[in-house]
Structure 1
Amino acid sequence: MKSRLFLLACITLLAACDKPAAATKGTIGVSLLTLQNPFFKVIGDNITAEAAKHGYDTLVVSADNDVARQSNQVKDFIVKKAAAIVLSPADSKAIVPVIQEANTAGIPVFTVDVPCNEPDVKIVTQVATDNFGGGKEAGNAMIEALKGQGGKIGVLDLKAVESCILRVKGFKEVLDAHNATAAQKLEIVSELDGGGAKDKGYKAAEDMLQAHPDMVGIFAINDPSALGARGALEKAGKVDKVVIIGFDGQPEGKQAIKDGKIYADPVQFPDKMGVEVVRAFVRHSKGEDLPPQMLIPTSLYRKADGEADASLK
């Protein structure tokens, strides 16, 4: 009896070993702006997790802010006959030719976080933060922080990236509306490229402070450049004289808000972006028509939110 049971177990095991693994439905090629930024890492991780739920593999790579590198990555996805391509463009204009190649190959292209609104390309849909709305929140936060005080404002921007352009546009719109009626005006006196990075943000903020030592506020288009600006303020001995408004809500940025180093951030939800871009692809693959963009609102995060945030120190 025991020998029969043993033989049956062996047969069952052999059958299981011979059974082929479940076939994947295909691979989604994902090229993100930079995986050095935790924000994009969260997007990539959530794309991978959500795609697996729907039976798709993923290939997630970093463009490292280099449009030539990203173009080569997209060409590789096309050669591999990817089921779909997801991009956060390193340069919304310069990426156009390779998106057109993907269009010609019949591979659906989606953008996440950073749009490509150029003519002559076909993007199924853009999944992103409402960056314009977030920029308006940042403008309101600056007005709130300065409590009626007027003065000179600096902006650390990133003009190669469409989402960052929208943030600055929203910020300026709110300041313009404020200045139309306020006794004390807020004047943007400097706009410099902060590179979306701490080191470049530090240098740009340092240059701003040297040119405008009486500056009262800085808006930075993301947390790394905001943290760079904070470093420049510390070096200049102006931490109590200049308000910083960031953008993103990365853990390091939230911690800085809790610690009083940054006043506030319009917080993005990169986890939702990753999930929603995969769901958009699945809907598209079933023949559903999608809107040209699917926007996720930001939420303003202040010191009180940081103090109530159990994930922080």
Structure 2
Amino acid sequence: MKKIVALVLGTLLVFSLAACSMSSPAESSGTEPAESQQAAASEDGAAADGEYTVGFCPMDLSNNFWAAIANSFEEAGEEAGIKTIVTDGKSDAATQVTALENFISQGVDVIVVGPVDAESLQGVIGEAKNANIPVITHTTAYDDATCNMNVDEIEMGTAIGQLAGQWMVDTFGEEAGCKYAILTQSQLEQTIGRENGIQAGIEEFVPNAECVTKVDAHTTDLGMTAAENILSAHPDVCAIIGINDSGALGAYETVSARDMGDEFFIGGVDGTDQALELIKGGTIYRGTVYLNPVGTGQQFIDYALALKNGEEIPESYMVPVNAISAENIDEYIQ
């Protein structure tokens, strides 16, 4: 009897050890983070579900312009029956590289990106090309991209600068030594052209105008803080112009809160809904440059559909530049 009991106990011990050895280390310890499990699942998701999938990494979703494009992109994708994945670039080159590498490993059908800077994505866009994944870029052109949607930076800056310059003449006269500030994003090489355009556009109308400072402020929160600092250091400025609407919208909040009266100009670039509404309302937000963010999100999906159907898309596309002020706002918003 003792021998039988010992045999049974020995057998049970063998099965117990075998069961333990079949468990993965993560299952045994229970320490694998939930996000790791989700990431592993998502890596196979795009390819495994059989859906036509487009991954989009905008420069920064805290920027109203990119947020508007992303929303339009997702809505257009849903309507077209295309699966969309949006990953925020967060104005960080390394984050964008990782996002595109993930898109490639997921096996998406098309990649769309608004690059944070030109150099950082060269390699990963080449990887996408080698994997036969078309890449559509916005703002920055790459040889390995399938389509580059671009904008004339100097033309954009000049357009909003001219609106500011005309307002200065109408308000203070041609000889006035108006002081103004520019909100920029200095880590982006393309904003240099935009800044130069803003200054050139103003000088066409007011040769004596002076740019007293340029401040990095490409988001609404940064724009609010920048405007506070600008007005404290230069209380006599009469205009703050942003290289985008997002930073300028923040400046608008600060200047409006100070109740500085009507003799002030705020303007930006992008043509976001918020900017258009403020122009329509006759506020001190007096101008923007319309880059049609909603239409851009739709266009990304249109291009993806064309590629899905085996059709060609243009290798390059220049986004039209249209300055908007109170005089023509009704053409863009009812």
The correspondence for 1:35, drawn from 58, 61, 74, is 61
Q: 1:228 to 1:186 in 2, by over 3 A?
A: same
CA RMSD of aligned residues (A): 3.0
Q: How many residues align?
A: 279
Could you tell me how far 1:134 is from its partner in structure 2? 2.5
Pairing 1:244–2:269 present = no
In the TM superposition, 1:15-54 aligns within 5 A as 26-51=52-77
Distance 1:246 1:190, change over 3 A: same
Amino acid at match of 1:296: V
Supply the AA of the counterpart residue of 2:209: L
Q: Secondary structure at the match of 1:138?
A: helix
User: Cα gap change, 1:48/1:203 in structure 2, threshold over 3 Å: closer, same or farther?
Assistant: closer
1:76 aligned onto 2:94? no
Match of 1:299 among 313, 316, 322: 322
Of residues 128, 136, 141, the one that matches 2:158 is 136
Give the TM-score, by structure 2 length. Answer: 0.71
Structure 2: gaps (5+ residues): 1-48
Cα displacement (A) at 1:75:
1.1
Deviations 1:254-312 (A, max 9, x none): 23222412111112201221232333445556363733x3122233222355578766x
Q: CA deviation at 1:239?
A: 4.2
- Worse-matched range after superposition: 203-212 or 281-290: 281-290
Question: What CA distance in whole angstroms lies between the structure 2 residues aligned with 1:227 and 1:301?
Answer: 15
Structure 1: gaps (5+ residues): 1-22
Distance 1:95 1:230 in 2: 34
Range that drifts further, 67-76 or 160-169: 160-169
Q: How far 1:219 sits from its partner (Å)?
A: 0.9
Counterparts of 2:264 and 2:103 in 1: how far apart (Å)? 46
Secondary structure at the aligned position of 1:201 is classed as helix
Partner of 1:85, secondary structure, is strand
Distance in 2 between residues matched to 1:130 and 1:273, nearest whole Å:
16
Partner amino acid for 2:130? T
SS of 1:218's partner is: strand
What's 2:186 paired with?
A: 159
Contact map agreement 1:93 1:116 (CA 8 A) in 2:
no
Counterpart of 2:88 in structure 1 is 62
Task: Tell me if the contact between 2:65 and 2:246 (Cα under 8 Å) persists in the aligned partners.
Answer: no
Q: Between the two proteins, what is the percent identity of the paired residues? A: 24
Shift of residue 50, structure 1, vs aligned partner: 4.4
- SS of 1:297's partner is coil
Contact 1:263 1:303 in 2 (8 A): yes
Give the AA of the match of 2:119.
Answer: K
| TM-score, normalised relative to structure 1 | 0.76
Structure 1 CA distance for aligned equivalents of residues 295 and 233 of structure 2: 40
Q: In the superposition, relative to structure 1, how do residues 71 and 248 fare at CA in structure 2: closer, same or farther (>3 Å)?
A: same
Aligned to 2:314: 290
Tell me the amino acid that sits aligned with residue 264 of structure 1. G
Task: Indicate the residue corresponding to 1:171 in structure 2.
Answer: 198
- Equivalent residues of 1:233, 1:239 under 8 A apart: no
| 1:264 to 2:287 alignment | yes
User: Of residues 248, 255, 275 in structure 1, which corresponds to 2:277?
Assistant: 255
Which amino acid in structure 2 is aligned with residue 153 of structure 1? Y
The alpha carbon displacement at 1:200 in A equals 1.0
Aligned counterpart, 2:111: 85
Residues 134, 297 of structure 1: 8 Å contact kept: no
Q: Which residue of 2 aligns with 1:7?
A: none
Separation in 2, partners of 1:134, 1:209: 25
Q: How far, CA to CA, are the matches of 1:203 and 1:50 in structure 2?
A: 35
Q: 2:237 aligns with which of 215, 219, 232?
A: 215
Q: CA deviation at 1:97?
A: 3.2
Residue pair 1:260, 1:303 contacting (<8 A) in 2 also = no
Q: Residue deviations 1:203-232, cap 9 Å, x none?
A: 222222333332232211222311222233
Q: Provide the rounded CA distance (Å) in 1 between the counterparts of 2:249 and 2:75.
A: 30
String of CA shifts for 1:76-105, please: whole Å, max 9, x gaps: 111012211100113333333332332333
After superposition, give the CA deviation of every residue in 1:227-258 in whole Å (9 maximum; x if it has no partner). 22223334555444432122223232223222
